[in-house]
Structure 1
Amino acid sequence: MIKVYGSVFSRASMVMCALEELGLEYENIEMLPRSEGTQSDEYRALNPTGKLPTLVDGELVLWESQAILFYLARKYGAQKLWVEGFAQEAELYRWSLFISNQLEVAALDMLLSVKFARDGQVDEQKQAVLVDVLDRFLPVLEAHLIGREFLVSDHLTVADLHGAAVLAWPKLAGFDYSRYPAVAAWVRKILALPSQKRVRERSAG
């Protein structure tokens, strides 16, 4: 059986959502980011970075969330969560990498700055710098998503599962998406999928 190391409070959530969408059985070995378990010799033997998630599928041990998502969609999707043809595949890579390279670091830093603020005092100057980064690149994504339900193609793909999860982080930190209604609507749509609910319920159980 496929094993996923991580929790709903880590990038493993997007991997578990992909597994749910594909109807695959899996075992979740629950670990929190930066926890003692992720630093153990046993886990480091699987993932030398000590980060989450890690996927074990038979003899394959794979880390890096986007690589895992691409693998699952290509191996098990039969076009579900993936696209058709080289042009659409290039689009999927383009928008996945755009979010990963231009938005993800700022999105995560914004969330962590709030989550780990000393005495509840957020560094407003640092947050302002991160807001500037998001405001530089979100207009590009906003323009792309106007009139679209999904990031690539006319159906759900792994690019949506990754991208919406990443852009939910600033919202949790208080970022105002009102200037980006198409992005906000897309994030809401993906986070409201039944697969997302199943992952949350699985974790709560």
Structure 2
Amino acid sequence: MLTIWGRISSINVQKAVWAAGEVGQSFERIDCGGTFGGLREPVFLAKNPNAQIPVLEDGEVCIWESNSIVRYLAARYGSGWIWEEDPALRADADRWMDWMQSELQPAMTPAFWGLVRKVAGFTDPDAIAASAAKAEKLMDILENHLAGRTFLAGERFGMADITVGCGAHRWLNMPIERAERPHVRRWYEAIAARPAAKPALPLPVA
């Protein structure tokens, strides 16, 4: 059985939990990080010297970084399903996973921290507005891409839908004004209804 270290309110932990569910692997999730603490304990630092969540343990295998965890689970347990053997198809998924990590997630995080978590230093209305504006431009990219596709990397659900889906879940359920995007909404509602998504996408977002 897998072990996933990290609190479920973490968007990166959500990716790991969803991926494990999609490939049919049972797991134990151990709360740590945030108010749970524990990231500076020697037992955790031995797993991830960066003191960050999530961490995945699969027997003797120990992995950190959420996208690496999703890729590992997909490749080991989801070949021909959420993992594409064709390098071109896999690159299509990879680029959206990296886009989520390097573009959308950093753009919307300041607004999320200010509006939902109310983190000191992020509650300034101008900072929240700037974050929201940046995220909205990126959501336009997602909307345009999904206009002619069922899923992010084609007509089959895959690992990119997990990672970007966690971002869409957070953005669409934040208390913030946003443009209505029918293609994003259609896609999000379809993937959020998957059995493996439900334990990974808690509401309200926190």
Deviation at 1:56, TM superposition (A): 0.8
Alpha-carbon distance in 1 for matches of 2:168, 2:108: 7
Q: How does the TM-score come out when normalised to structure 2?
A: 0.86
Q: How does the TM-score come out when normalised to structure 1?
A: 0.87
Contact 2:142 2:184 in 1 (8 A): yes
1:140 is aligned with what amino acid?
A: I
Of 85-94 and 166-175, more deviation after overlay is shown by 166-175
Which residues of structure 1 form unaligned runs of 5+? none
What aligned pairs does 1:50-199 form with structure 2 within 5 A after superposition?
50-117=51-118, 122-199=123-200
Which residues of structure 2 form unaligned runs of 5+? none
Alpha-carbon distance in 2 for matches of 1:176, 1:94: 28
Contact 2:15 2:200 in 1 (8 A): no
2:35 is the counterpart of 1:4:
no
| Residues 185 and 177 of structure 1: CA distance in aligned 2, closer, same or farther (over 3 Å) | farther
1:51 is aligned with what amino acid?
A: Q
Alpha-carbon distance in 1 for matches of 2:78, 2:21: 11
Alpha-carbon distance in 2 for matches of 1:199, 1:66: 15
| Residues 39 and 60 of structure 1: CA distance in aligned 2, closer, same or farther (over 3 Å) | same
Contact 1:82 1:158 in 2 (8 A): yes
Of 173-182 and 151-160, more deviation after overlay is shown by 173-182
| Residues 81 and 132 of structure 1: CA distance in aligned 2, closer, same or farther (over 3 Å) | same
Aligned-partner SS, 1:78: coil
Of 168-177 and 78-87, more deviation after overlay is shown by 168-177
2:70 is the counterpart of 1:41:
no
Aligned residues: 200
2:102 is aligned with what amino acid?
A: N
Aligned-partner SS, 1:155: coil
2:195 is aligned with what amino acid?
A: P
Deviation at 1:84, TM superposition (A): 4.1
Aligned-partner SS, 2:134: helix
Contact 1:5 1:31 in 2 (8 A): yes
| Residues 118 and 57 of structure 1: CA distance in aligned 2, closer, same or farther (over 3 Å) | closer
Partner of 2:27: 26
| Residues 155 and 39 of structure 1: CA distance in aligned 2, closer, same or farther (over 3 Å) | same
Contact 2:6 2:32 in 1 (8 A): yes
Alpha-carbon distance in 2 for matches of 1:167, 1:114: 16
Percent identity between the two aligned chains: 26
1:64 is aligned with what amino acid?
A: E
Q: Which has the higher helix share?
A: 1
Alpha-carbon distance in 1 for matches of 2:198, 2:169: 15
What is the CA RMSD across the aligned residues, in angstroms?
A: 2.2
Contact 1:4 1:29 in 2 (8 A): yes
1:76 is aligned with what amino acid?
A: Y
| Residues 33 and 21 of structure 1: CA distance in aligned 2, closer, same or farther (over 3 Å) | same
1:4 is aligned with what amino acid?
A: I
